[in-house]
A = this chain, B = another copy of it.
Amino acid sequence: MRSKDRLTLDVEVLSALLDGTRAESRAAGRAFAGGDGLLLEDSWTLEEKREATRESLQKLVETGIARTPLPERLGGENQHDQHITMFEEIVTVSPSLQIKAGVQIGLFAGAIQHLGNEEQHDAWLLDAIEGRLLGSFAMTEIGHGSDVAAVATTAEYDPETQEFVINTPFRAAYKEYIGNAACHAQAAVVFARLITAGVDHGVHALFVPVRDESGNPLPGISIEDDGYKGGLPGVDNGRFAFDHVRVPRTNLLDRYGSVSEDGEYSSPIESPGRRFFTMLGTLVQGRVSLVGASNTAAKLAADIAVRYARARRQFQSPDAAEESTLLSYRRHQRRLMPKLAQIWANQAAYERLLDQFDAVFSGRDDTEEARAELETLAAGLKATTTWEALDIIQEAREACGGAGFMAENRLVGLRHDLDVYATFEGDNTVLLQLVGKRLLTDYASEMRDLDVGGIARYVGSYAAERTLFRSGIANVSSTIGDLFTPAMNEKRIRSGRLQEALLASRAEVTLTELAANLRPANKMSSTDAAELFNDHQNDLIETARAFIELHKWRALNDLMHSVDPKDNPAEAKFLRRIRDLYGLELISAHAGWHIANGRLSMNRARQIEPTINRLVRKLAANAGDAVAAFGYGPEHRRCPIADGAEEQRQQETRDYYAELKRSGNMPQDEKDIYRRKQQREAQLKEKSAER
């Protein structure tokens, strides 16, 4: 490392940038997560891990933090983002607890709050929020996973008794992977097709008690245990089946659909499709919270790997007094520094998402357009951030070598637990497709270029129900023309305007090409149109990714510009390095596209690699500050190799050899003897040649 690379940074300034307006609730979360008795011991049985997680959940709700999103009437603050940021910190000690809390508070209580009426709130909400009533969120079925519209469980109204009859008609309709189901749930919010008077009104949610006071399943309810999983051992996932289970009519969570005593259905939203997606939209919190939790896990892993890389020494360089630290190797810098940049970009985008989330749910900015944008961004950020977190944790684990594989150093456990984040709360591929379809619908309506009704046929009803983005993602086409000018090609590759122009240009062009390629579908048979659409499914997903990447870059760029270089010159410079590394890595990944489409000259393209190479070297000089800014201490890392074990061993080694030298007992090295002998022989040869 070169001394001039190193900036003198104020870690608190960096922390304030990362934690933003929610610094206080994050600090509360970290204080909780750093406490005793929360870590699951590897030696415990599955049952012990589940029981310990249940107990920790009680401790967590006792903090009262889960009450903040409640309406004022119930003692809450109608404040929807702070408790999420508190909860996400829990991932640092136990992803199982974070998810179990997410099931209980975000999903179970959240569904009661957002889909239920005031009487239902009075009956169940406080008990759920305060952990006296443990519950499940029984939406997913074996047969259809992320395709919720295809739920097959039925809730048929019986006017005779004014009850709903919940039924599981076949094995594929079992509620599956349901958190809290295997052991702890006393009740569940069950999603089922509401049938009354011979009409199927689509998926609705009902409150269904599932266990009696002694913990046994209620009559007609079968519960199976999912048993061992790839991670999250503290969460008791399981399956529910219902054999004509009856609940009172008033157990229907009826915000978007109710049934009168005599069986007449009514809803504030006439279109069944729109009603379904509006209902689903109220449950976006789960996806929002996974963005934050997965970036938090990524921070912890990067923190561990960077601390180890700064301490660990390997492979003596010639003539050096000491071996080099791992972090001084360029390849190691290339492995870890781009991950730090991703973490910063994800955090910047996440903070915006939280702002939008709170604005919508508090009612400050609750329009249909705002909800559509929130849902789309939540889907796109959930998909990309959870995947990146898995990559970051894996890179951190490998960067710690064999020590990274030891359970005591935390990284493998984090990796196992986070694995499922990529496929639950909406499979990542399905979510990116959703983003792509929204972009396409919006493009169609904005450009008046495609028949919107026509496009609806193959983008599916969800996207078609929600058009008209108001800003951000879709309206890029209006700005790119300005951004990309011939003069742009003269800019240095570290120019922010050039980076934005390249990223925006790719997003726009891929979307435009996609729309053009799909245009013939309007005149095709359904089968041919479906095949054409399938031919371009990959482009659809890559287009979605390009937009989300652009969105993240812009969030990071804005965060960078929020630092005044006059007040904080070093921090501004650091953030510029982070932003440039993030931008150039994205551009490099699609360099072929940028060149082949005439956006990037070959000359400029060749600058990218050496620029990245320099940026990682410079950032590595401040890697310690960069991870310190995440705000974790040894009580969070709980990882010997990150906090002193390695330094201590090295000191012991140095002391041993110093003493050996001092004592005169150091053996001679055969290599030195051999080298001297070779030199002597060479001299003799030379001499004999001279003679």
Q: Which residues of A contact B (CB under 8 A)?
A: 42-43, 46, 140, 142-147, 150, 152, 169-173, 176-177, 195, 198-202, 226-231, 265, 270-273, 314-320, 323, 328-332, 334-335, 390, 394, 397-398, 401-402, 404-408, 411-413, 415-416, 419-420, 422-424, 427-429, 433, 457-458, 460, 526-527, 530, 534-538, 541, 588, 590-596, 598, 602, 605-606, 613, 617, 648-650, 652-653, 656, 667-671, 673-674
Contacts and interface: CB of A to CB of B under 8 A. Distances in A.
A420 B415 CA distance: 13
Contact of A419 (B229, B412, B535, B671): B412
Contacts of A230: 397, 405-407, 411-413, 415-416
Contact of A402 (B42, B150, B200, B423): B423
Contacts of A594: 592
Given A320-B530, A667-B200, A171 B402 contact: no
Contacts of A397: 230, 419
A667 B427 CA distance: 30
Contacts of A412: 229-231, 416, 419
B404 A423 contact: yes
A198 B595 CA distance: 64
B423 A199 contact: no
Contact of A605 (B144, B177, B596): B596
Contacts of A170: 649, 652-653, 656
A423 B401 contact: yes
Nearest to A616: B538
B423 A405 contact: yes
Contact of A172 (B424, B429, B650, B674): B650
A145 B326 CA distance: 12
A595 B413 CA distance: 42
A199 B673 contact: yes
A401 B423 CA distance: 6
Contact of A595 (B152, B229, B329, B595): B595
Contacts of A401: 145-146, 423, 427
A671 B465 CA distance: 14
Given A177-B402, A667-B198, A43 B146 contact: no
User: Shortest 4 CB-CB distances between A and B: which pairs?
Assistant: A591-B592, A230-B412, A228-B407, A42-B228
Contacts of A605: 592, 595-596
Nearest to A461: B671
A330 B145 contact: no
A596 B606 CA distance: 7
A330 B514 CA distance: 15
A323 B146 CA distance: 14
A397 to B, nearest CB: 7
Contact of A195 (B43, B328, B667): B667
B408 A424 contact: no
A78 to B, nearest CB: 33
A654 B398 CA distance: 47
A415 B415 CA distance: 11
B595 A171 contact: no
A147 B328 CA distance: 16
Contacts of A176: 402
B423 A652 contact: no
Given A43-B228, A317-B530, A330-B534, A405 B419 contact: yes
A671 B198 CA distance: 13
Contacts of A265: 670
Nearest to A654: B170
A429 B335 CA distance: 10
Nearest to A610: B535
Contacts of A270: 674
Contacts of A144: 314
27 contacts: A43-B46, A143-B649, A145-B314, A147-B315, A150-B315, A150-B323, A152-B653, A172-B653, A195-B667, A198-B667, A200-B667, A200-B669, A200-B670, A202-B671, A229-B407, A229-B412, A230-B397, A230-B416, A272-B671, A330-B537, A331-B429, A331-B433, A335-B429, A402-B423, A405-B419, A588-B592, A590-B592
Contacts of A458: 318
A4 to B, nearest CB: 13
A525 B43 CA distance: 53
Contacts of A142: 649
**Residue among A323, A411, A413, A670 with most chain B CB within 10 A:** A670
Contacts of A317: 526, 530
B420 A405 contact: yes
